[in-house]
Amino acid sequence: QAGEAVPVAQRGSWTSFLKSIASFSGDLSSLTAPPFILSPVSLTEFPAYWCERPELFAAIADATTEEARALAVLKWFMSTLKGQYTSRNESMGSEKKPLNPALGELFYGVWPDKNGRGQTDLLVEQVSHHPPITAYVIENRSKGLKLVGHSAQKTSFSGGSIIVKQIGHAVLTVKLPAGGEVQYLVTLPRLRIDGLWYGSPYIELSDHSYIVGGGYTCNIEYKGKGYFSGKAHTFKATLSPIHSSGDIVVEGTWHQNSKITHGGSGSFHDVSAPKEEVTAVGAEAGGEMGGMETRKLWQFVSKGIREGDFDSASKEKTRIENEMRQRRKDEAASGTTWPMKHFKPLGSDPVYEKLAVLADITPETEDTYVFQDNWPATLRS
């Protein structure tokens, strides 16, 4: 039955929301949705999903051969997908609509050192509001690992589902113990948001994503129910050496586990153990959060949503949005633009161009946001 999970009083507005997305293509984040589907978390917190198993990220640095390193990168990547795409269903009952970040919104966090894995730092900046683009860096300095990326989405509606094409990519740089470094290009899968009619959206991944670099290409194919295994959240990753033969194939479900089915044997990834959430860190003196830091900026909106006080959440959200609108008007009047704090935009990415060609990835180039290496002192003391 339509709207089963939708509170009775919100069924009308849910139907209108679905109608508006059915005839809409572009920036979904700007559409007003009914309260039951609102998440109290801003999209600037999402890059933390890349490192909620910090020991797997750190383990990339311990690999001593190209093959072992490519497998470690794949294992870390596969282990992030459960958090990236199913964690809201677990914590909030369904996929929800995240808070649409303000231009210049910031999020800083840390996973502390444990068992010699080293400290991992996270820095996120909203580098565009229309369209929303989030840039991020995750670095484990002691292990010589750095992931820099940006994320944007293009949405459309098809067959009752929202289709999300992810725009953007990440580059992982690994410092080698013998000197020098190796880089991996990480591209992102396509999303289908199903279950809308029932008011309980969930994500399925489709198409392909790639990891390319360090002498290997890896083509990861995603399927849902009714494809090669008939199971939800299925994937098949084919890891191929660039200069020789001998593929390694890994198959399984990205939200559970997988095994090596060709070119080796044994279990590969397993995400049944609990993940480790990032600790948010304020960038101001004494670890305080500044006004543009996510959890401070949205604190009363988030509180309202969490406590079911949607009136105050909506008033506070309108106040923030009006303040941002005024800021943009003032900038236009004075001929200035909001300066990025941590990144510099670049219209093409030479690392992407060099690596994408090895796996025939299109487009041939993408924008990038170059990190200015200016970590706040609170993360670097």
- Residues of this chain that interact with ligand HCR (CB under 6 A) are 28-29, 33, 37, 46, 49, 84-85, 95-98, 151, 153, 162, 164, 166, 193, 201, 203
CB-wise, 220 or 248, nearer to ligand HCR? 220
DSSP 26: B
What is the three-class DSSP state of 225? coil
Tokens 């180039």 appear where? 365
CB-wise, 168 or 252, nearer to ligand HCR? 168
Nearest approach, Cβ of residue 305 and ligand HCR (Å): 14
- β-bridge mates for residue 43, sequence order: none
Nearest approach, Cβ of residue 151 and ligand HCR (Å): 4
Nearest approach, Cβ of residue 94 and ligand HCR (Å): 8
Q: Which is nearest to 215 in space by CA: 194, 241, 235, 181?
A: 241
CA atoms within 13 A on the CB side of 322: 6
In whole angstroms, give the CA distance from residue 183 to residue 173: 5
User: In degrees rounded to 5, what are phi and psi of residue 289?
Assistant: -95, 135
Nearest approach, Cβ of residue 37 and ligand HCR (Å): 5
User: In degrees rounded to 5, what are phi and psi of residue 311?
Assistant: -65, -50
CB-wise, 197 or 338, nearer to ligand HCR? 197
CB-wise, 98 or 109, nearer to ligand HCR? 98
Nearest approach, Cβ of residue 87 and ligand HCR (Å): 9
CB-wise, 84 or 119, nearer to ligand HCR? 84
Letter for the amino acid at 77?
F
Six token digits for residue 28: 């979904």
In what helix (H) or strand (E) does residue 41 lie, and over which residues does it extend?
A: strand 38-42
Other CB atoms closer than 10 Å to residue 265's CB: what's the count?
Answer: 9
CB-wise, 31 or 249, nearer to ligand HCR? 31
Treating both helix axes as pointing N-terminal to C-terminal, what angle do 299-307 and 310-334 enclose, rounded to 10 degrees? 160
Nearest approach, Cβ of residue 21 and ligand HCR (Å): 7
